[in-house]
Amino acid sequence: MISIFKNIFFILTGVFLIIQSSCASPALKKDIALELQQEDEGARSAFGLGETYYAKGDNELAIIAYKNFVSKYPNSRLIDDAYLRIGDVYLSKREYENAAVYYKKIVEMLPRTDLFNEARYKLGVCSFELKRTDDALLLLSEEAKLPHPSDRKASINKYLSEIYIIKKDYLLSVKALTSALNETADESEKSR
């Protein structure tokens, strides 16, 4: 009987994660749910606790839960997801240095992670906010070469435009800003 309740709990936890995780892309939500099913019970429970706090917006408890998960299950399939969540919480609090630490851990995991591009983009944002323009330019320029949804592409080009202004390369700044505006216009055309 208890085994049935445990299975129901984990299925509901997976469904809850998919529904409540508003900051993740649909593919990321599916990946987390799949990875969660493949973990052992303790890891699922520890990661699920972090997800519960994260979904509720209780950032401090989410960070504690994710860090606890990381320390107890360093070889888990979900370790990159935990790093991303910790980084996202710090990013939302504008604690860019702390966020960068966790995004960098994911970037260094390549090729073992499906979150590389997401982490590299956010590491570029943190680098920009920390006024590390050379690092931000390198990271975001690489991301600009890849296919992304229009809103992400526009964001990347907006940051690149600002970096080029700082570097006094106004021609490239205008080019990046034009690309950002075109992506925004394309997105509004699609929504009509």
Q: What is the pLDDT of residues 148-186, one digit of tens each?
A: 999 999 999 999 999 999 999 999 999 999 999 998 876
Pair of tokens at residue 31? 């990946």
Tell whether 157 is covered by a domain: no
Q: What is the DSSP string of 26-51?
A: HHHHHHHHHHHHHS-HHHHHHHHHHH
Q: State mean pLDDT over 102-123.
A: 93
CATH of residue 35's domain is 1.25.40.10
Tell whether 154 is covered by a domain: no
83 or 77: which carries more pLDDT confidence? 83
Mean pLDDT, the chain, as a whole number?
85
Give the structural domain span for 18.
2-146
Provide the pLDDT confidence category of residue 111 given band limits of 50, 70 and 90: confident
Query: What total of structural domains would you count in the chain?
Result: 1
The model's pTM: 0.78
Tell whether 191 is covered by a domain: no
pLDDT at 63 over 50: yes
Position 116 scores a pLDDT of: 95
DSSP state at residue 109: T
